[in-house]
């Protein structure tokens, strides 16, 4: 077995694998957690952005004099006031690998605006009350330019240019085997075109933060973020040394990728730096919907060839992604879509061409699933189409083609861990039993399954790393320091569990300090389902090193061999005697043995890819799963009700089973939102979704219980054999819902969301 | 343009009397957060849609962002923090939320707790899971998928917790 | 969030409120429950100079029955209608319609008069009032006039109310013997504004409709009654309704980001049938 692969046996685990209630939840439930927008500082100022009201135009004039004169206004900044007016999206996090993402935008636009909501001026005032009027007094004259709001149109000859460099932002290809020959010889070929929509993260906490200058002149930002390493970006914008900027991430009110790119950070920093006073910025929900990057909408064309027995012979895939007005992480999102495009199946001949285009729509960037989820709609719809054509069972077609350890993905990566995809298919079906009956006349019921795979951990050539510090206090309690932001998934708590497990400490005696770029070892982004893998392994390594120190010191003191010693709560036990932890620590101090350790975990390595992807490892590993849904369709109104939902994933080893179930039910419901309800509507570049009254995310009444089936192969590249589960559950819902509806009405809806209106139109098309 | 106007407003917040002279335009949400220093009701939308600012005004559910503090001068306000025991430990409903992992990011949690409290307080007879789900429809959560929240309320109900 | 400060004045009577609306710096805007006004203020769509609070007009929350009518004070809240015994027994269509409104929080504070004056084209109360043939008493100081619901609601957020006038009271005919009611709607999610809503009242004799009132919202700029359908369903039994309703006349649905005109038309037909069928069942027609 590959030496990266970790495993664990259940009977050896004491703290890990227990469904423990998290201490951070207790604070949140008591209402005492202080989120980014809750902090108030003396003499704090307030800041707000003036944003473009048109999607495309040339800025002719900006006049801030009237705003400056309004009583209460302290400062008004334009792009020219910024030392380096550029947000460059390299690859944020604990890596210095700068990628050619071509992702650059102005902090404040000076001459050109490219989307509705783009920031133009920053107003700072001594009261929130002044800001509405002050912003309206900033005069901005814009000559409107042609708008391009469709990615296909953007790539057509003569389209208005969003950027002078051209509208093609990124392109990836995979070419493996002979697709044309396979298509020609195949028993069946099925074709389909599928569309996904713009989706908003819609976390409950809109972007917010407070900044100040501390006693050592360090610009400090306490903001809702998934990435404390943005301190480097802020430093670059302000022309400061990196060490003079500090970012603290308190508990974050939801991230899902939406707080991966910077939001309020540069603006708070600028306002603080100019005024030398504490500043708070709180985006409204309207601003959040308007200006923070969305999930890419994609158009996916599939041609799938199979033999008569259902074996896949070829996939021919074209993907076009709408990247909106600025690049952000689009090139990487598109890469994920490309690598995941064939699903968890063995395909000998593959041709994939994917492109992302600039438009004057809101920018698109990271969102849970990160391009790997949109394609689930494509490849799973094709699998069902294939099953129908061949008269085969949908589960059998999937099982016949399921990847196994040692297989290579179309991109060339070899799978190094066990794949339990067939087990997830069996698990959801066994649990489901027979298909339910309709609840009344003019109603029909449908059932479908959808499988997926999703990477966990960052792209291997990014040279990802995470560091963590673990140390004993004099009273025998344990402190963990790790720069991980906790965005609600229990990231910090899981680290405490791992440290407690390795060091034989009661969990109640572990304190985790997290999310501070100055005081906790940098651990990288809480993104890409990487924290358990990276920071978990860093804590594991630090704790393991510390454990070795302690045992060696006790062995020297007692004369017991090291192998005979065990760490247990409150003591080290050996054949001679049981040494209480306080005494162990004293022995260490007398013997110059450190009672703390820094662990750094380095992710798997790989070479940077070129546009033509071939033969390379891309990701550390993948998580596999299958979902099953029963739906009922009202034939008169088109309304769809999800009757039953079962989701099975192999998570390798569940560090905290309750957190795993929470990630599954939460991810599924977010996916159901995209499947059935949500769409950020943009027309000709104008955002028509001003508030949550129009952005329709699921309520408790819209979804059924999500029955999570947690399979544990006991194998993965995370600590104790854990696999990441943050992102994987969001993909299957966007396929399983249209497929279940198709089972009910006999026609597949290929564009999301599956609205009642689309359902009625589909029923009508069947009649026609 | 007219002069802004201030008002003397007194509210009893979680049993504590708070009196202050503040802008007449302040929503109850801003008044609680900025004047009374009670930050568990959250700003999530300002439209009354998300439910993160749900409080009780004289025992009745309300979106604190859609009420002017001036409109309810003299009223008694309960937030999620007011559901704690006098010693600050978690109340019975809150304990059930904790045991069932009903909070992830926690931003929606205070509003949901207040909603759940009113639901159990007003319930006549045993509520089904579907009834609980429908009663929660005005409080959005983006992390949990709602399931552990429904579990927590159902469990609290079965243990006789009445709000 | 970013609200420019405004003045606040609390009125103890409608007369005082009207006076404040005239004397206070403009725009002076009345507030009752605030569930429609304050979202717009918070979104920056409305910038009042003064908010005139009607919450001190205590008597205006009463609901009384009188001469075959319910007299409902404009400040009665949605939750009052939902719970009030008089409303539930004398005009259950209204109690039924209110249950579709927003969340429990909106119903706890939102008022009947506020919903009527705000005149959202898909709001439940204006539709119910239109079908019920309710009338509104508008007051301006000592002056009062009465306007029927159909004449009051002119278009989206547009009514016959003058800026200083206030909706003071609503008169709703009580449900007569032999009548049944139905209210239904389709909205994206529970509690959202309807895409289309339908309300119906029928009088049934020997299982057949002898008199009907039926209306829709979401298919025009205001709630409308569908007179031709009301005529067509006379004599119908529950099982005939699908044929008799046919294609409802007078619809002017629009395409917008919520739904297409075509889908609204389809819903109009389906929901009218459902509301009428439910009304027939409740009137003791059949199909139970």
What confidence tens digit (pLDDT) does each residue in A238-281 have? 999 999 999 999 999 999 999 999 999 999 999 999 999 999 99
Please determine, for residue A551, whether its predicted confidence score (pLDDT) is greater than 90. Answer: yes
pLDDT category, A607, cuts 50, 70, 90?
confident
Contact B2 C106 (CB under 8 A): no
- What's the confidence (pLDDT) of residue A611? 84
For A587, the 3-state DSSP assignment is: helix
Q: Are A674 and A729 in contact (CB under 8 A)?
A: no
Flag whether residue A288 sits within 8 Å of chain B, measured between CB atoms.
no
CA distances C123 to A625, C98, C101, C191, C212, Å, are 43, 10, 8, 11, 22
What pLDDT is recorded for position A97?
57
Give the pLDDT of residue B1: 45
Chain C interface includes A760 (CB < 8 A):
yes
Neighbour count for residue A341 (Cβ, 10 Å): 28
Q: Which residues are A59's β-sheet partners?
A: A142
Closest chain B residue to the Cα of A33, Cα to Cα: B40
Which residues have C-beta within 8 Å of that of residue A162, sequence separation ≥ 6? Answer: A56, A114, A148, A154, A325, A358, A359, A360
Mean pLDDT confidence for A174-196: 97
Q: Which of A265, A268, A267, A291 is nearest to A279 (CA)?
A: A268
C266 touches chain A (CB under 8 A): yes
pLDDT digits (tens, 9 = 90+) for C225-270: 999 999 999 999 999 999 999 999 999 999 998 999 999 999 999 9
Local confidence band at A768 (pLDDT 50, 70, 90 cut-offs): low
Superfamily of domain B84-158, CATH level 4: [2Fe-2S]-binding domain (1.10.150.120)
Q: Where in chain B is the domain with CATH 3.10.20.30?
A: 6-78
Q: What angle do CA A422, A424, A427 make, to 5 degrees?
A: 110
Indicate yes or no: CB of A693 within 8 angstroms of CB of C39.
Answer: yes
Cβ of A136 under 8 Å from any chain B Cβ? no
How far is the CA of A288 from the CAs of A224, A360, A690, B151, in angstroms?
13, 17, 9, 31
**Cross-chain CB nearest to C189 (options A282, A636, A696):** A696
pLDDT in tens, C98-140: 999 999 999 999 999 999 999 999 999 999 999 999 999 999 9
Q: How far apart, in Å, are the Cα atoms of B26 and each of B22, B35, B72, B73?
A: 8, 10, 12, 12
A30 vs B: CB within 8 A: yes
Within 13 Å of residue C240, how many CA atoms lie on the same side as its CB? 13
DSSP readout, A411-471? TSPBP-S---HHHHHHHHHHHH-SPPPPSSTTEEEEEEEEEEEEEES--GGG--EEEEEEE
The CB density around residue C88, as the number of other CB atoms within 10 Å, is 14
Q: Are the C-beta atoms of residues B34 and A39 closer than 8 Å to each other? A: no
- Chain B residues whose CB is inside 8 A of the C189 CB are 137
Cα–Cα distance, B153 to A39 (Å, whole number): 31
Whole-number mean pLDDT of chain B? 96
C3, C186, C193 member nearest A756 (Cβ): C186
Identify the residue among B62, B75, B111 best suited for mutation to test binding to C, counting C beta carbons within 10 A and taking the highest: B62
Q: How far is B87 from chain A (nearest CA, A)?
A: 12
- Reported residue count of chain A is 768
Domains of chain C with CATH codes: 7-53 (3.30.43.10), 60-173 (3.30.465.10), 179-282 (3.30.390.50)
Residues in chain B: 163
Q: Is the pLDDT of residue A10 over 90?
A: no
What is the predicted pLDDT for the residue at C287?
40
- From the centroid of its chain, how far is CA C264? 19
Residues 9-38 of B with CB under 8 A from C: 23-25, 27
* Stretch 647-676 of chain A: residues touching chain B, C-beta under 8 Å: 658-659, 661-662, 664-670
pLDDT reading at A555 higher than 70: yes
- Within A70-178, residue ranges assigned H as helices are 128-137, 151-155
The strand pairing partners of A321, in sequence order, are: A298, A356
Nearest to B39 among A29, A34, A251 (CB): A34
What was the pLDDT predicted at C288?
37
Spatial contact of B47 and A691, defined as CB atoms under 8 Å apart: yes
Separation between Cα atoms, residue A512 and residue A505, nearest integer Å: 13
A91 or A678, which is more confident?
A678
Domain B6-78 fold: Ubiquitin-like (UB roll) (3.10.20)
Does the beta-carbon distance from A681 to C257 stay under 8 Å? yes
Mean local confidence (pLDDT), A679-690: 96
Q: Please judge whether C190 and B60 are an interchain contact, meaning their C-beta atoms are less than 8 angstroms apart.
A: no
Separation in Å, CA of A574 to nearest CA in chain B: 37
Mean pLDDT (chain A, rounded): 95
CB C80 within 8 A of CB C93: no
What are the pLDDT tens digits along chain B (163 aa)? 456 689 999 999 999 999 999 999 999 999 999 999 999 999 999 999 999 999 999 999 999 999 999 999 999 999 999 999 999 999 999 999 999 999 999 999 999 999 999 999 999 999 999 999 999 999 999 999 999 999 999 999 999 998 8
Share of chain A above pLDDT 90, in %: 88
Q: What percent of chain C has pLDDT over 70?
A: 99
Total length of chain C: 288
Q: Taking Cα atoms as reference points, which of A632, A553, A623 lies closest to residue A591?
A: A553
Decide if B113 contacts A177 (C-beta within 8 A): no
* Domains of chain A and any CATH numbers: 41-145+207-282 (3.90.1170.50), 297-459+608-767 (3.30.365.10), 465-602 (3.30.365.10)
Specify the pLDDT at position A20.
81
Of A254, A699, A701, the CB nearest to B105: A254
For residue B67, list chain C residues with Cβ-Cβ distance below 8 A. Answer: 34, 38, 109
**Where are the domain boundaries for CATH 1.10.150.120 in chain B?**
84-158
Residues of C in contact with B135 (CB under 8 A): 104
3-class secondary-structure state, position C154: strand
Q: Is A68 on the interface with C (CB under 8 A)?
A: no
∠ at Cα A571 (A567, A572), nearest 5°?
50
Angle between helix A733-745 and A374-390 (nearest 10): 40
What pLDDT does residue A339 have? Answer: 96
Is the Cβ of B3 closer than 8 Å to some Cβ of chain A? Answer: no
How close does chain B come to A655, measured CA to CA in Å?
Answer: 15
Nearest in space to C267 (alpha carbons), one of C168, C206, C184: C184
Question: A72, A130 in Cβ contact below 8 A?
Answer: yes
Dist CA A466 CA A484 (whole Å): 9
pLDDT-derived band at A554 (thresholds 50, 70, 90) equals very high
* Per-residue pLDDT tens digits for A410-434: 999 999 999 999 999 999 999 999 9
For residue C270, give the 3-state DSSP assignment: helix
Residues within 8 A of C (CB atoms), A 95-154 only: 128-129, 131-133, 135
Cα separation, A38 vs A60, whole angstroms: 38
**pLDDT band at A170; cut points 50, 70, 90:** very high
Cβ contact A415:A717 at 8 Å: no
Mean pLDDT of A593-612: 90
DSSP A285: H
Contact C127, C216 (CB under 8 A): yes
Across the interface, of C7, C34, C103, the residue whose CB is closest to B2 is C7
Contact B136, B116 (CB under 8 A): yes
Assess B162–C contact: CB distance below 8 Å, yes or no.
no
Confidence at residue A95, expressed as pLDDT on a 0 to 100 scale: 55
* Over residues A700-725, mean pLDDT: 95
CA distances from A591 to A544, B153, C73 (A): 19, 54, 84
Reduced to 3 states (helix: H, G, I; strand: E, B; else coil), residue A320 is strand
Model confidence pLDDT, tens digit, residues A503-528:
999 999 999 999 999 999 999 988 87
Burial of A283 (0-12, 13-18, 19+ CB in 10 A): buried
Residues 43-82 (B) with a CB less than 8 A from some CB of C:
43, 46-48, 51, 54, 60-63, 65-68, 70-71
pLDDT of residue A630: 98
pLDDT band at A89 (very low <50, low <70, confident <90, very high): confident
Q: For A14-46, what is each residue's pLDDT tens digit?
A: 888 888 878 889 999 999 999 999 999 999 999
- The answer to whether the beta carbons of residues A66 and A139 sit under 8 Å apart is yes
CB contacts of A205 in chain C (<8 Å) are none
CA angle A731, A28, A30 (to 5 degrees): 145
Residue numbers in C near B66 (CB within 8 A): 34-35, 38-39, 42, 105, 109
Half-sphere exposure (Cβ direction) of A517: Cα atoms closer than 13 Å: 29
Q: Specify the DSSP class assigned to residue A140.
A: E
Whether residue A693 and residue B47 make contact (CB cut-off 8 A), yes or no, is: yes
Q: Is the dihedral of CA C112, C115, C119, C124 positive or negative?
A: negative
Using a CB–CB cutoff of 8 Å, tell me whether B120 touches chain C.
no
What does the pLDDT read at residue A14? 82
* Closest Cα in chain C, distance from residue A676 (Å): 10
By the 10 Å C-beta count (0-12 exposed, 13-18 middle, 19+ buried), A407 is classed as: middle
Q: Which residues are registered as beta bridge partners of A169?
A: none
**Strand A706-711 with A640-650, pairing:** parallel
pLDDT tens digits for range C129-188: 999 999 999 999 889 999 999 999 999 999 999 988 999 999 999 999 999 999 999 999
């Amino acid at each position: 077995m590959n030496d990266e692969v970790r495993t664990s046996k259940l009977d050896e685990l004491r703290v890990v694998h227990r469904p423990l209630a998290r201490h951070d939840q207790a604070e949140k439930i008591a209402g005492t957690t202080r989120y980014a927008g809750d902090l108030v500082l003396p003499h704090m100022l307030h800041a707000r952005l003036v944003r473009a009201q048109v999607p495309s135009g040339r800025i002719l004039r900006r006049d801030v004099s009237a705003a400056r004169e309004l009583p209460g206004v302290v400062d008004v900044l334009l792009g020219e006031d910024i030392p380096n007016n550029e947000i460059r999206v390299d690859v944020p996090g604990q890596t210095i690998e700068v990628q050619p993402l071509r992702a650059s935008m102005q902090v404040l636009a000076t001459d050109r605006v490219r989307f509705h909501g783009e920031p133009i001026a920053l107003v700072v005032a001594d009261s929130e009350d002044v800001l509405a009027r002050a912003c309206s007094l900033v005069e901005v004259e814009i000559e409107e330019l042609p708008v391009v709001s469709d990615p296909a149109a953007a790539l057509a000859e003569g389209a208005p240019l969003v950027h002078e460099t051209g509208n093609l932002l990124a392109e990836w290809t995979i070419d493996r085997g002979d697709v044309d020959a396979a298509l020609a010889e195949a028993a069946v070929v099925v074709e389909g075109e599928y569309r996904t929509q713009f989706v908003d993260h819609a976390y409950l906490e809109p972007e917010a933060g407070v900044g100040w200058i501390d006693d050592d002149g360090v610009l400090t930002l306490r903001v809702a973020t998934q990435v404390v390493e943005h301190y480097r970006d802020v430093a670059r914008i302000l022309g400061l040394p990196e060490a003079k900027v500090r970012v603290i991430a308190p508990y974050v009110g939801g991230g899902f990728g939406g707080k991966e790119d910077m939001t309020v950070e540069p603006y708070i920093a600028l306002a603080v730096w100019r005024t030398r006073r504490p500043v708070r910025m709180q985006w409204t929900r309207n601003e959040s919907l308007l200006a923070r990057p969305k999930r890419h909408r994609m158009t996916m064309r599939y041609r799938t060839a199979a033999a008569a027995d259902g074996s896949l012979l070829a996939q021919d895939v074209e993907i076009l992604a709408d990247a909106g007005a600025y690049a952000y992480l689009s090139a990487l999102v598109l890469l994920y879509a490309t690598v995941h495009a064939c699903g968890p199946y063995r395909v000998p001949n593959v041709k994939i061409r994917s492109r992302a285009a600039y438009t004057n729509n809101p920018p698109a960037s990271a969102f849970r699933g990160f391009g790997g989820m949109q394609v689930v709609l494509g490849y799973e719809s094709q699998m069902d189409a294939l099953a129908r054509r061949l008269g085969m069972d949908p589960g059998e077609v999937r099982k016949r083609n399921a990847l196994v350890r040692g297989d290579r993905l179309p991109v060339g990566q070899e799978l190094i861990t066990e794949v339990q995809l067939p087990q997830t298919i069996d698990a959801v079906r066994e649990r489901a039993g027979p298909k339910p009956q309709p609840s009344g006349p003019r109603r029909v019921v449908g059932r479908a399954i959808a499988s997926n795979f999703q990477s966990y951990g960052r792209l291997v050539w990014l040279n990802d790393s995470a560091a963590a510090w673990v140390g004993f206090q004099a009273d025998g309690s344990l402190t963990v320091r790790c720069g991980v932001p906790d965005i609600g998934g229990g990231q910090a708590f899981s680290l405490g569990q791992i440290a407690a497990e390795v060091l034989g400490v009661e969990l109640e005696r572990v304190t985790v300090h997290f999310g501070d770029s100055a005081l906790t070892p940098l651990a990288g982004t809480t993104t890409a389902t990487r924290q358990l893998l990276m920071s978990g392994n860093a804590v594991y390594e630090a704790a393991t090193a510390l454990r070795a120190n302690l045992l060696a010191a006790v062995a020297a003191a007692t004369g017991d061999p090291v192998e005979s010693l065990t760490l247990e709560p409150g003591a080290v036990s050996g054949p001679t005697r049981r040494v209480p932890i306080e005494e162990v620590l004293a022995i260490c101090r007398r013997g110059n043995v450190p009672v703390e350790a820094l662990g750094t975990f380095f992710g798997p390595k790989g070479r940077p890819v070129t546009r033509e992807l071939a033969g390379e490892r891309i990701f550390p590993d993948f998580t596999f799963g299958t979902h099953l849904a029963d739906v009922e369709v009202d034939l008169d109104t088109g309304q769809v009700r999800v009757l039953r939902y079962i989701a099975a994933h192999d998570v390798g080893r569940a560090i905290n089973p309750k957190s795993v179930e929470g990630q599954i039910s939460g991810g599924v419901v977010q996916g159901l939102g995209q499947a059935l309800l949500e769409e950020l509507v943009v027309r000709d570049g104008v955002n028509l979704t001003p508030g949550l009254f129009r952005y329709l995310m699921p309520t408790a009444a819209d979804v059924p219980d999500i029955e999570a089936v947690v399979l544990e192969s006991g194998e993965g590249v995370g600590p104790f054999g854990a696999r990441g589960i943050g992102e994987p559950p969001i993909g299957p819902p966007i396929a399983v819902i249209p497929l279940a509806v198709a089972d009910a009405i006999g026609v597949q809806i290929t564009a999301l969301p599956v609205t009642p209106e689309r359902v009625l139109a589909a029923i009508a098309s069947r009649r026609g | 343009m007219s002069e802004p106007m201030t008002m003397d407003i007194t509210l009893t917040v979680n049993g504590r009397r708070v009196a202050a002279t503040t802008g007449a335009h302040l929503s109850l949400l801003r008044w609680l957060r900025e004047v009374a220093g009670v930050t568990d009701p959250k700003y999530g939308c300002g439209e009354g849609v998300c439910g993160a600012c749900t409080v009780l005004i004289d025992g009745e559910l309300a979106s604190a962002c859609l009420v002017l503090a001036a409109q309810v001068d003299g009223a008694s306000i309960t937030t999620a923090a007011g559901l704690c025991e006098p010693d600050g430990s978690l109340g019975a409903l809150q304990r059930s939320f904790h045991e069932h992992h009903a909070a992830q990011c926690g931003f929606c949690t205070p509003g949901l707790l207040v909603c759940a409290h009113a639901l159990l307080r007003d319930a006549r007879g045993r509520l089904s899971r579907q009834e609980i789900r429908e009663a929660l429809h005005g409080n959005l959560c983006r992390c949990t998928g709602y399931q552990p929240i429904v579990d927590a309320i159902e469990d609290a109900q079965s243990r006789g917790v009445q709000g | 969030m970013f609200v420019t400060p405004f003045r606040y004045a609390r009125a103890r009577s409608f007369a005082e409120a009207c006076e404040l609306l005239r004397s206070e710096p403009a725009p002076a805007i009345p507030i009752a429950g605030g569930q429609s006004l304050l979202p717009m203020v918070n979104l920056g769509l409305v910038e009042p100079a003064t908010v005139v609070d009607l919450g001190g007009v205590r008597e205006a929350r009463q609901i009384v029955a009188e001469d075959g009518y319910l007299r409902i004070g404009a400040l009665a809240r949605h939750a009052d209608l939902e719970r009030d015994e008089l409303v539930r027994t004398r005009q259950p269509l209204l109690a039924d319609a209110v249950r579709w409104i927003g969340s429990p929080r909106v119903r706890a504070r939102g008022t009947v008069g506020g919903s009527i004056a705000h005149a959202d084209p898909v709001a439940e109360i204006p539709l119910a009032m239109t079908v019920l043939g309710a009338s509104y008493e508008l007051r301006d100081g000592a002056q009062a006039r009465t306007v029927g619901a159909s004449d009051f609601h002119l278009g989206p957020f547009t009514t016959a109310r003058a800026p200083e006038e206030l909706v003071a009271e609503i008169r709703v005919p009580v449900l007569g013997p032999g009548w049944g009611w139905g209210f239904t709607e389709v909205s994206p999610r529970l509690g959202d504004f309807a895409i289309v809503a339908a309300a119906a009242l029928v009088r049934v004799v020997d299982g057949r409709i002898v008199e009907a009132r039926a209306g829709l919202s979401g298919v025009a700029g205001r709630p409308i009654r569908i007179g031709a359908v009301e005529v067509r369903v006379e004599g119908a039994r529950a099982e005939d309704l699908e044929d008799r309703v046919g294609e409802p006349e007078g619809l002017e649905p629009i395409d917008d980001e919520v739904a297409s005109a075509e889908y609204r038309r389809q819903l109009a037909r389906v929901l009218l049938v459902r509301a009428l069928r439910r009304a027939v069942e409740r009137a003791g027609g059949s199909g139970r």
